[in-house]
Amino acid sequence: MITSAARLVARREELALIDAAFRDSEAGEARFVLLGGDAGVGKTRIMDHVAQRLADSGVRVLRGSCVALGAEGLPLAPVTAILRSLVRDLGTDALDAIVPGASLLHRLLPDSGTAAEPSGQARMFESFTTLLERIGADRPLLLVIDDLHWADRSSRDLLGLLARSLRGTRVLVLLAFRTDTLGARHPLRAFTAELERLPSVRRVDVAPFNRAETAGLLAALTGKRPPEALVDRVYQASGGNALFAAELARTSGTRLPTTLRDLLLERFSELADGAREVVRVAAAGGPRVAHDLLAEVAGVAAPDLLAALRVAADAQILVADGDGYVFRHSLLYEAVAADLLPAERVALHRAYAAALERDPGLTSPGRAAAETAYHWSEAGDAGRALPALLRAADAAEAMDARAEQAQTLIRALGLWPRTGAPDRFAVVENALAAAGWSGEPLRALGLADRELVEETDPGRAALLHAHRGLSLYSLGRDGSVTAFDEALQTIAGDEVAPAARAKVLDLAAAGLMLRGLPDRAHAAATEAMHIASGLGDRDLLANASATAGTVLSQLGRYEEALAALEATGRPGSAPQQVRIDLNRSEALAALGRHDDAIAAARRGMHVCRTAGLTRTLGALLAFRIAAVLTVTGRWDDATAEIAAALEQDPPGGAGGMLHALHGEIALARGDLDLARERLTLAQSLTGPASGFEAVPADRLEARVALCDGRVTDARAALARALAAPVLTPAQSWALLVDGARIEARAGSRGATHLPPNEGVPLPLAERAGQLPANGALCTAYAAEYAAVSGGSWTAAVAAWDTAGDPFAASGARLRAAEAAAASGDRDGARDLLRTAAAQASALGARPLAEEIALLARAAHIDLATGPASDASPAERLGLTGREREVLRLIAEGHSNRQIAETLFISPKTASVHVSRILAKLGAATRGEAAATAHRLRLFADR
C-alpha cells in the first residue's frame, strides 16, 4: 500500500543548511533560503517538512505561491496570500496597529477599495517590510513561497527588497523554484544571481536521490523494504526524481513509461469517468480553481461534484486549498491541461470567462479580473478579451503592480486592430506611464516606436516622442534630445489642443533638465505652467512648477527657484510634495541659509515617513540634510543621519551618494581606510548610467587618488564627474576647486617629470568662466578657485566665513598663512594659523590640523602665543643641509637611485634620507613632500 504522506527521506544536508539559517533568523538576523531543483525533485516536500516542524515549535508560518496565468504571473499572488492569512489570524485593526501606513497594504486586498497612486508600490513595499519586521520581532516567522519561477515582476521586486532590507528581526524566508525550466533569458536567473550576492541569502540545490535514497523513499511509501530489483528499475527509470519514483512505486515498477508526464496521465486515466471529467475542467481553470467557480463551469449536481472531488483527492491529484483546489503538483496540472483537445480547451476557457463575467465573486477576491482576461484570451475571443484585459490592468494598478499593469495594457493594445474599440490612445498613455513608473524603459520605448509608425495626430505623436526621449535617457542611449526636439517641433502649430501641448511641454522640460539643458528646460516648463494655470490643472501646474524650480537652481538663480517652488503650494501627491521640499532645501543651502535648508528637508522627511517613501525619496532628503550638516561642521550629526538612512537600505544611486558623503567626512578626519571602504560601497551602487547620483563617488575617488599621489586617476575621476549631464553651479564649482588642486599638485611635481598621460590638464578655466557665482556657497567656491589659481586667499577666507563652512574656512586660512609667511608677514600668518588650528581641532580634522601645525613649526609660530622667528622654513622644520638637497631632488621627480647618482651616495643612504624627510614634513608620500616644499617655498629659486 502507498501512503499519502510518507516521512521525509534523506535530505540531511539540505535540512542542515535550512536549520542553520533558521538559527540565524531566530537570533535576529533575517535569512533567505533559495531552494532550486528540477520539477518533482522534492523541493515542496522539504518546505512542507520544515514548515510543519517549525509550526509545531511555535513559529508563525505563512505560505504563498506564485501563480501563472498565461505568459505572466498573477500580480503579487504570494504576498496577497500571506496578507490574507495575517488578516484572518490577526484582523485588520491589529495590522493597522502593528505598522503605520498599513492602509497601503489594503490595496493588495481588492475588496478594501483603497485607491493607488503612481509611487504607491515603493510605499506599499516599505509598509510590508515593516510589517514583517515587527511581526518577526514579536515571534519567529517563517515565510514559505513556492513556484518562484512563475513570479511576476512586482513579486520579484518585493522579495528582492525584503532580502536587502530586513534587519534585526526573526524572519526566515524559503523560496522554491524550478531550475529545469529556466531558459537563458528567464528573469529569475538574474534575480536569483543578484540575491545570492547578499549575505542574508543561502542557496540550496536539491539534487535527485541516489540509489540508496530512492530505496529509502520506496520503503517509506510502502511501509516495507522494497525488493532490490524494484529499486533498480525505479531508480533507473526515474533518475532519482522523487515524484517520478513515487509514481513508479504505485505501479510496482512493472510498467515503465518513458516520461513522467505519461506516468502522471496514467494515474489521471485510472479515475472514474465523472472524476476524470471534473479534473479536466479544473485543469482548464488554472493551477488553482475556486470551488464555486469549478461548480459553475462543471455543470454537475453538487453531490456528484463532491463525490468526484473526493475521488480526485484520494488519488492524490487534487488537494483542498482554502476555498478551492490545487493540483498536488504543478507537473500533474501541466500534464492534464496539455491533454485537453483544442476545441475542448477553447470551450472550457469560454465557459470560465462567461461565468466570471456573470459573477466575479465565484473566484477568490482580487483574481476575477486577471482570470477573466486570461480565459477570454485563451478562448481566442478578442472582442471580450480586450475589456477584460483593461479591467485586469486597472486591478494591477490598484495593487501598485505597475510592471504587470504595463504588460497587460500592451497585450490589450495588441488586440485593438481586431476590435476597433475607441479611446485607444488613453490606453497607450497609461501603458507608457506604467512602464516608466515600473522601471521598464525598454518596454516603453518599444511601445512608443510602434505607435509612432501609424500615429497621425500631432498632439499624440508629440507625446510619443517625449516618452521616447525619456525612455532613451533612462536606457543611457543617444537620441533623447533629438526626441524632445521632435516633440516640441510637432506641437509648434495651432492644431494641437492646449491640454496635450502642456503635457508635452512638461515631459520635455523634465527630459531636457535631466540632459543638462537648463535654459531650454526652463522655457518649456514656464510655458507648461502658463497653460496648466489657464486650464486649472493643478497637478500639471505643480509638476511643471517643480521642474522650473529645479532648473532655476541649475542656473544658479536660487531666489527665483524658491519663488517658483513656493508657487506650487502643497500639492496633494506625496511624491510631488517631497520633490518640492528637496529642491527647496538645495536652493536654500546654496544661499547659505543652512537652518532653513535643513528645516525644508525635515518637512519632506515627515511626508516620506507618513507616506512610506523613506527608502526612496527619503534617502535623497537624508543626503541633503547630511550634506548641509557636513558643510556647517556638524560631522557627528551628519554621520548619524547617513547611518540612519543607510539602515533603510536605499536603492542604487541614493545609497551610493550617502556612502560617498560618509567617505568625504572620513577623509577629512584622516581615516583613509574608511574613506576607501565607503568609496568601494558607493561605486558598487552607482555606475556610468547613474548620472548625478555618481558625482559624489567620482569626487571622492578623485580626492582619495590625490591623497595617494595618483594624479592621473584623480584627473580621470574628476573628468567623469564634470561630464555629468546635470550639475548645479555649486556642484560644478566644488569640482572645479578640486580640479585646480589636482593641477596644482601636478605642477608641484614638475611638468617635465610627469608621465606622458599625466600631462593633459583638466579644462577648468573655460568652465569656470561660464559658471554663475550666485549665493554664498558658489561665491565661496569661486573665491577658492581663484585663490588656487593664483588669486587672493584672504578673499577666500572671508567668503567661506560668510558661507558658514568652518572646514573650508580653516583650509583657506592655512593657505593665506602660507602666503603671509612667505611675504614676511609673520603676525598675519600667526593670527590666521591660530584661528585655523582652532577650527580644525573643533572639527576633528586631523590631516588639516597636522598641516597647520607643520606650517607653524616651519614659521616658528607658537599656535598658543609667542612671536615669530627669523629662521628659514627649512631650518624650522629641522631639515639638515643634505636633507634639503635630497628634498630638492624629490621635488624635481628623482627616484632614490637618481638621487644617489646625483649626490654620489648609495641608494640605501638616499632611501634613509627620504624616510627622514617624510617624517619631518609629516608627509605620507614623496608627492606630498614635494607639494609641501613647493607651498613653503623652501627653495628660493623654484
Helices and strands counted in the chain (H then E): 47, 10
Query: How would DSSP label each residue in 358-384?
Result: H-GGGS-TT-HHHHHHHHHHHTT-HHH
- Residue whose grid cell is 510496482: 252
pLDDT at 757: 40
Tell me: pLDDT of 763 over 80. Answer: no
- The per-residue pLDDT for range 436-454, each reduced to its tens digit, is 877 788 889 999 999 999 8
Residue with the larger pLDDT of the pair 878 and 917: 917
Give the residue-averaged pLDDT of 831-847. 93
Q: In what order do the strands lie in the sheet with 171-178?
A: 60-65, 141-146, 171-178, 31-37, 201-205
Residue with the larger pLDDT of the pair 812 and 150: 812
Tell me: pLDDT of 756 over 90. Answer: no
CA distance between the termini of the chain: 99
Give the residue-averaged pLDDT of 841-868. 85
Give the residue-averaged pLDDT of 918-935. 79
Range among 81-85, 115-119, 559-563 rated most confident: 559-563
Q: Give the least confident one: 191-195, 238-242, 296-300.
A: 238-242
- Residue whose grid cell is 634620507: 913
398 backbone φψ class: left, alpha, beta (φ>0; ψ -120 to 50): alpha
Show the beta-strand stretches assigned E in 297-352.
Answer: 318-321, 324-327
Measured CA to CA, the distance from residue 327 to residue 522 in angstroms comes to: 59
pLDDT at 758: 42
Say if CB 468 and CB 449 are below 8 A apart.
Answer: yes
Q: Provide CB contacts within 8 A for 140, sequence distance 6+.
A: 25, 26, 54, 58, 59, 60, 170, 171, 172
Query: How would DSSP label each residue in 485-549?
Result: HHHHHHTSSTTS-HHHHHHHHHHHHHHHHHTT-HHHHHHHHHHHHHHHHHHT-HHHHHHHHHHHH
pLDDT at 751: 33
Q: pLDDT grade, residue 810 (50/70/90)?
A: very high
Say if CB 2 and CB 206 are below 8 A apart.
Answer: no
Tell me: pLDDT of 599 over 90. Answer: yes
Tell me: pLDDT of 2 over 90. Answer: no
Work out whether strand 141-146 and strand 72-73 pair parallel, antiparallel, or are unpaired: unpaired
pLDDT at 568: 73
pLDDT at 725: 75
Question: What is the DSSP secondary structure assignment for residue 106, as one 8-state letter?
Answer: G
Q: Provide CB contacts within 8 A for 299, sequence distance 6+.
A: none
Measured CA to CA, the distance from residue 314 to residue 308 in angstroms comes to: 10
Beta bridge partners of 202: 33
Say if CB 41 and CB 242 are below 8 A apart.
Answer: yes
Beta bridge partners of 62: 143
Instruction: Show the 3-state SS of 559-586.
Output: HHHHHHHHHCCCCCCHHHHHHHHHHHHH
Residue with the larger pLDDT of the pair 419 and 629: 629
Q: pLDDT grade, residue 7 (50/70/90)?
A: low
Give the residue-averaged pLDDT of 566-594. 84
Q: Provide CB contacts within 8 A for 481, sequence distance 6+.
A: 469, 512, 515, 517
Tell me: pLDDT of 126 over 50. Answer: yes
Say if CB 287 and CB 68 are below 8 A apart.
Answer: yes
pLDDT at 759: 39
Compute how many other C-beta atoms are within 10 angstroms of the C-beta atom of residue 12. Answer: 8
Q: Provide CB contacts within 8 A for 622, sequence distance 6+.
A: 605, 641, 642, 644, 645, 658
pLDDT at 424: 87
Instruction: Show the 3-state SS of 650-681.
Output: CCHHHHHHHHHHHHHHHHHCCCHHHHHHHHHH
Average pLDDT, the chain: 85
- The per-residue pLDDT for range 872-911, each reduced to its tens digit, is 667 667 777 778 888 888 888 888 888 888 876 777 778 8
Q: Give the least confident one: 196-210, 744-758, 797-811.
A: 744-758
pLDDT at 752: 31
Angle between helical axes of 120-138 and 153-165 (0-180°, round to 10) = 50
Beta bridge partners of 173: 32, 143
Q: Is the dihedral of CA 339, 344, 348, 350 positive or negative?
A: positive
Measured CA to CA, the distance from residue 749 to residue 893 in angstroms comes to: 6
Q: Give the least confident one: 97-101, 395-399, 768-772.
A: 97-101
- The per-residue pLDDT for range 27-36, each reduced to its tens digit, is 989 999 999 9
Give the residue-averaged pLDDT of 468-487. 89
Tell me: pLDDT of 4 over 60. Answer: no
Q: Give the least confident one: 107-116, 254-263, 350-359, 661-670.
A: 107-116
Q: Give the least confident one: 128-132, 193-197, 634-638, 697-701.
A: 128-132
Say if CB 403 and CB 152 are below 8 A apart.
Answer: yes
Compute how many other C-beta atoms are within 10 angstroms of the C-beta atom of residue 293. Answer: 27
Give the residue-averaged pLDDT of 915-920. 81
Give the residue-averaged pLDDT of 721-729. 84
- The per-residue pLDDT for range 57-73, each reduced to its tens digit, is 999 999 988 887 665 66
From the list 609, 540, 608, the residue with the least C-alpha distance to 577 is 608
- Residue whose grid cell is 617655498: 937
| Cell numbers linked to 87 | 488578516
Work out whether strand 31-37 and strand 201-205 pair parallel, antiparallel, or are unpaired: parallel
**By CB neighbour count within 10 A (0-12 exposed, 13-18 middle, 19+ buried), where does 790 fall?**
exposed
Q: pLDDT grade, residue 750 (50/70/90)?
A: very low
Q: pLDDT grade, residue 487 (50/70/90)?
A: very high
Measured CA to CA, the distance from residue 723 to residue 648 in angstroms comes to: 30
Compute how many other C-beta atoms are within 10 angstroms of the C-beta atom of residue 90. Answer: 14
Measured CA to CA, the distance from residue 512 to residue 524 in angstroms comes to: 9
| Cell numbers linked to 265 | 496521465
pLDDT at 588: 95
The amino acid sitting at 687 is G
Angle between helical axes of 153-165 and 77-90 (0-180°, round to 10) = 60
Q: Provide CB contacts within 8 A for 602, sequence distance 6+.
A: 625
Say if CB 507 and CB 470 are below 8 A apart.
Answer: yes
Task: Give buried/exposed letters for 867-884 (b at 16+ CB in 10 A, else e).
Answer: ebeeeebbebbebeeebb
Tell me the Cα Rg of the chain: 35
Query: How would DSSP label each residue in 427-465?
Result: HHHHHHHHHHHTT-HHHHHHHHHHHHHH---HHHHHHHH
Measured CA to CA, the distance from residue 903 to residue 916 in angstroms comes to: 17
Compute how many other C-beta atoms are within 10 angstroms of the C-beta atom of residue 199. Answer: 8
Q: pLDDT grade, residue 221 (50/70/90)?
A: confident
Find the length of the chain.
Answer: 942
**By CB neighbour count within 10 A (0-12 exposed, 13-18 middle, 19+ buried), where does 252 fall?**
middle
Percent of the chain at pLDDT > 70 equals: 90
- The per-residue pLDDT for range 321-351, each reduced to its tens digit, is 888 998 887 778 888 998 999 999 999 999 9
Domains belonging to the chain, first-starting first, are 12-207 (3.40.50.300), 573-643 (no CATH), 644-858 (1.25.40), 873-935 (1.10.10.10)
Give the residue-averaged pLDDT of 524-535. 92
Q: pLDDT grade, residue 851 (50/70/90)?
A: very high
The amino acid sitting at 774 is N
pLDDT at 298: 94
Distances (CA, A) of 746 to 676, 720, 753, 898, 928: 22, 18, 10, 20, 11
Give the residue-averaged pLDDT of 473-482. 85
From the list 912, 939, 669, 919, the residue with the least C-alpha distance to 929 is 919
Could you give the 3-state DSSP secondary structure of residue 151?
A: coil
- Residue whose grid cell is 599638485: 745
Question: What is the DSSP secondary structure assignment for residue 417, as one 8-state letter?
Answer: G
- The per-residue pLDDT for range 548-576, each reduced to its tens digit, is 988 898 888 999 999 988 877 666 677 78
Tell me: pLDDT of 120 over 80. Answer: no
Tell me: pLDDT of 534 over 80. Answer: yes
Give the residue-averaged pLDDT of 102-116. 57
Q: pLDDT grade, residue 254 (50/70/90)?
A: low
Task: Give buried/exposed letters for 454-475 (b at 16+ CB in 10 A, else e).
Answer: ebeebbbbbbbbbbbbbbbbbe
Could you give the 3-state DSSP secondary structure of residue 209?
A: coil
Q: pLDDT grade, residue 263 (50/70/90)?
A: confident
